[in-house]
Amino acid sequence: MVKWLDIPQVWVLAAAIAAWAQARFFPMGLSFGGAWADFLAGILVGGGVLLMVLALVEMRKHRTTAIPHRDADAMVTSGIFSRSRNPIYLGDVLLLAGLVLWFDAVLALPLVPLLLWLLEKRFVLPEENRLRLKFRANYARYCQKTRRWI
């Protein structure tokens, strides 16, 4: 029952709620500043969503799963995956960073690297291990030419 909760979007949502709550209830008089922060927030949120959409489209094209903790049917190395091995997780981090800026949640900023660490430990490393076992030399070559994040 709780297994469906162990998906990255739940962690992103929890961090976003924490950032919103910090800004709403504990602002401590701190602020990122006005229009530039909103502009950057829009770029980060938009970029994060775009990365996720591009990755999901590419995965669908190759008829493989985008659901964490499941075995991939195909190794996707084209499209956005030629630039990053983890564009969806990168999109999650960009989305949270943008929301932190948009909410003006200065004290919640440490949630961004914390989310990155959590995604890597909880999802990226286990997925990489499954891909390494299933696709062996092809995955090793892919890792040599494509970085984990950017």
Structural domain contains residue 111: yes
Q: Residue 12 has what pLDDT?
A: 98
Report the interhelical angle of 87-103 vs 35-61 (nearest 10°).
160
Per-residue pLDDT, averaged over 25-46, amounts to: 94
Structural domain contains residue 150: no
Give me the number of domains the chain comprises. 1
Structural domain contains residue 107: yes
Q: Residue 3 has what pLDDT?
A: 66
Structural domain contains residue 33: yes
Is the pTM value of this prediction over 0.85?
Answer: yes
Containing domain of residue 78, as a range?
8-145
Structural domain contains residue 3: no
Question: Taking all residues of the chain, what is their mean pLDDT, rounded to a whole number?
Answer: 95
Q: Residue 34 has what pLDDT?
A: 85
pLDDT tier at 130 (50, 70, 90 boundaries)?
very high
DSSP alpha helix (H) spans, 26-122: 35-61, 87-103, 111-119
- Is residue 31 over pLDDT 70? yes
Q: How many CB atoms lie within 10 A of CB 99?
A: 24
Q: Residue 2 has what pLDDT?
A: 60
Residue 33: left (phi > 0), alpha (psi -120 to 50), or beta?
Answer: left
